[in-house]
Amino acid sequence: MNYSLLPKAALGVALAGALALGGCKKDDADVCGGTPTLSSVTSTTDRNTASTTGALADWVILHGTNLCNASQVSFNDVDVSLTDAYVTATEITVQVPRVVPKSVTNTVTVTTAGGTAQTSYKLNIPALSATGLSNEYAAPGQKAAVVGMNFDLYEVTPAKGKILWNGTAVPITKTTADSVYFVVPSGATAGATLKVVDANGKETAVPGRYKDNRNVIFGYDTNGSVWGSSTFITSGPTPAPVNGPYVRVNQSIGAWAWTEFSTNNNIALPADVVKNPGNYVLRFEVNTLKPFSTNAIRMSIDGDAASTNTYTWTPATPFSTRGQWSTVTIPLSNFINKPADLNKPLHECKFVFLGDGALDADMSFDTFRIVPKD
């Protein structure tokens, strides 16, 4: 391999792996008869700057003396696999295991035939995070997923984890780092709450509710849900409905062409939404048969300009649900910047395609609702 062609960050990792089988050199072995010491920990890209903190899966260099023939290296109580380690008398290059420790000591420890050395080193342990359901309106018997982060780290697996549906365990079918898959139980009713249980039995609440129907501002069950745009309302069959009639925008949309697909100026909002918009989110179901890759969707509540009580959803990368219904969540705090303007009995809500770039659109929407964020 020509290491000169590698980026600097990759070079350290590549060298560590390539040299792993070398272990200690003979000259190093001659000076490894004493008790080991650890003087510092550095990254593989900046070996001259000591650090006292790091993250799981980092590649690091342990600096010290008498480190040859190390038999064990541990971060907290988690042992490192030395198969890919590069060890000399004064350095050990290793990758921090991506494993959550059971006992946090904020130390790194090296053991050799000559003894044990230890130094302070704090790892930032990411928390398990559940951010919601992939599709709050998935029908009983359909596959769904709790989405979030670090499910694999905390072993939310079919064997060790659980999904609690209104307190009753539901089998997990598959787990990835950011999703826990399951089948919506038969007889599931609107308003159910979910929790994720990790391998240690710790419960994490999943924000949102199943088929949350509180404060629906656009439901499309009647043409009255849309002012002036009822031609967009359909009952399918493509895509199949997720919650009765829905809006489908299936047409070419020019750059900055005002394409209004949901407007109503007769919407009542709960008093607390008006008073504390930061405690609420806008949720809706979306299904893309073609990627949302350009243009934008402007959403407003009593907004008289793009900068007032308005949120513009511009896809940074193509947004695609691949023909499946998916739940989108947008905090109201992202666009309610003048709550005082909401201080009236009825409100006007608008959802409009308006942005740069022509879009070959085929997007469907259903059940726009404003609900508590937790």
pLDDT of residue 12: 46
Which amino acid is present at 25?
K
pLDDT of residue 11: 42
Sheet with 179-183, side-by-side order of all strands? 129-133, 143-149, 179-183, 172-175
Contact 213, 370 (CB under 8 A): no
How many CB atoms sit inside 10 A of residue 358's CB? 13
152 phi/psi in degrees, rounded to 5? -70, -40
Closest residue by Cα to residue 338 from 325, 351, 347 = 347
> What is the rounded average pLDDT of the residues 90-106?
95
pLDDT band at 31 (very low <50, low <70, confident <90, very high): low
pLDDT of residue 7: 44
pLDDT of residue 225: 55
Closest residue by Cα to residue 202 from 148, 160, 147, 146 = 160
Establish whether the linkage from the previous residue to 277 is cis, with ω within 30° of 0: no
**pLDDT tens sequence across 137-160:** 999 999 999 999 999 999 999 999
Helix (H) / strand (E) element for 8: namely helix 8-18
Contact 94, 80 (CB under 8 A): yes
Token pair of 16 as six digits: 């560590």
> What is the rounded average pLDDT of the residues 94-114?
95
pLDDT of residue 230: 65
> What is the rounded average pLDDT of the residues 164-182?
96
Token pair of 192 as six digits: 């159910």
Token pair of 130 as six digits: 């559940």
Token pair of 129 as six digits: 């995070």
pTM of the complete model: 0.80
Report the alpha-carbon distance of residue 42 to residue 12 in Å, rounded: 12
pLDDT band at 161 (very low <50, low <70, confident <90, very high): very high
> What proportion of the chain, given as a percentage, has pLDDT over 90?
78
**pLDDT tens sequence across 177-209:** 999 999 999 999 999 999 999 999 999 999 999
What is the CATH topology of the domain spanning 216-372?
Jelly Rolls (2.60.120)
Contact 287, 326 (CB under 8 A): yes
| 3-124 and 129-206, same CATH topology | yes
> What is the rounded average pLDDT of the residues 95-123?
96
Report the alpha-carbon distance of residue 323 to residue 314 in Å, rounded: 20
Please state which of the ranges 14-23, 72-81, 93-102, 286-295 shows the lowest mean pLDDT.
14-23
The helix/strand count (H/E) of the chain reads as 3, 28
**pLDDT tens sequence across 57-69:** 999 999 999 999 8
How far from chain centre, in Å, is Cα 73? 31
Domain ranges of the chain: 3-124, 129-206, 216-372
Please check the confidence at residue 28 and state whether its pLDDT lies above 90: no
Residue of 101 and 31 predicted with greater confidence: 101
Q: What is the rounded average pLDDT for all residues in the chain? A: 89
> What is the rounded average pLDDT of the residues 323-333?
96
In CATH terms, the superfamily for domain 129-206 is Immunoglobulins (2.60.40.10)
pLDDT of residue 196: 97
Please state which of the ranges 127-136, 173-182, 297-306 shows the lowest mean pLDDT.
297-306
Is 2.60.40.10 the CATH classification of the domain at 3-124?
A: yes
